Amino acid sequence: MPLDPAARTVIDAFAASGPPIGTVPAPAARAASLARRLVIANPEPVYQITDRTIPGPASAIPVRIYRPSEAASLPALIWFHGGGWVLGDLEMADPTCRALANTVGCVVVSVDYRLAPETPFPGAVEDAYAAVRWAAEHGAEYGIDALRIAVGGDSAGGNLAAAVSLMARDRSGPALVHQALIYPVTDHRLETESYHANAEGFLLTRSGMRWFWEQYMGTQDWGQAYAAPLHAPSLAGLPAATVITAEYDPLRDEGEAFAAKLEAADVPVTITRYDGMIHGFFGMVGVLQPAGVARAQVAAALRQAFGGPGTAD
């Protein structure tokens, strides 16, 4: 279907607010990204929000923990923000994490993993896995039920969620009940039909995505499974997945290919393409109407995955 007119407005606003991704060094790109955030004026109140650090593989990892109620035992979603492994932080993910905590009725742990190029692969994914282990082993302080933990994220955050699911399988835990993958990065080759059809003019560009990969991987093998999960030899034994893609997104085809590979490995998966939408739409509730629909879909999938006491109806 045609590009949503509201998405065109977003694209034009972003184009006018700073240099294109890949044309300036990482610090300048981070500064520009601040001006491009579509901030929700009145973020949802949450019962309790705690900023703290947890142990990481190289240094302490900042996290923000959202509790929707005082319940003693709640499922948990470990959330990884997007930004091409180079941009993004806890504030960028805050509106989404608040809404998911309230709508799902779960604790949300938002992870401020180390960014590239200062910390290249595997720094971010090892931080992400460390956060999942911490939630399973020490999350009881925040009411987390270690048997009901899911992972999720958007774009590079979706990449980390998929990679952490592989790591948890390969490293014998923690057991995960679901992975919510929002237009995830799963392949490094940048040669799909959607990469060429949507190479320019739809917020995320093919050249910008190449720059993100260069910052994250440098001269390492870009096709490693924990960097490009589509290239894992097997996806068998992974948790059920919800995969969201956008029609006008370079990442569309690789997200859908990953979903198909999950399905072929007998992993339960729901894949939904949001027509007329662009990369980044999931976080634009209040600006793009389908964002609210997609968020509700993910929340419903998480509620179903968690089940049992403590899950919102």
Place of tokens 């900023």: 51
Q: Which one from 33, 155, 165, 194 is the annotated catalytic residue?
A: 155
Say which of 112, 127, 145, 249 is annotated catalytic: 249
C-alpha span between 129 and 237 (Å, rounded): 17
3-state secondary structure 226-251: CCCHHHCCCCCCCCCEEEEEEEECCC
Long-range contacts of 221-227 (CB under 8 A, 24+ apart): 222/188, 223/188, 224/121, 225/163, 225/166, 226/121, 226/122, 226/125, 226/163, 226/166, 226/167, 227/121, 227/122, 227/125, 227/159, 227/163, 227/188
Please identify which residue in the block is written with the tokens 């959330």. Answer: 79
Are 178 and 302 within 8 A, CB to CB?
A: yes
Contact 182, 150 (CB under 8 A): no
Asked if 155 is an active-site residue, the reply is yes
Distance between CA 158 and CA 230 in Å, rounded? 12
Taking the C-alpha atoms of residue 44 and residue 182, their distance in angstroms, rounded to an integer, is: 21
Q: State the virtual CA torsion across 237, 246, 108, 75 in degrees, nearest 10.
A: -40
Q: Are 152 and 80 in contact (CB under 8 A)?
A: yes
Rounded distance between C-alpha atoms, residue 44 and residue 42, angstroms: 6
Q: What are the structure tokens assigned to 121, written together? A: 């692969």
Asked if 266 is an active-site residue, the reply is: no
Q: Which two tokens stand for residue 72?
A: 């003693």
CA dihedral sign of residues 19, 20, 23, 24: positive
Question: Is 94 annotated as catalytic?
Answer: no
Q: Just list the catalytic residues.
A: 155, 249, 279
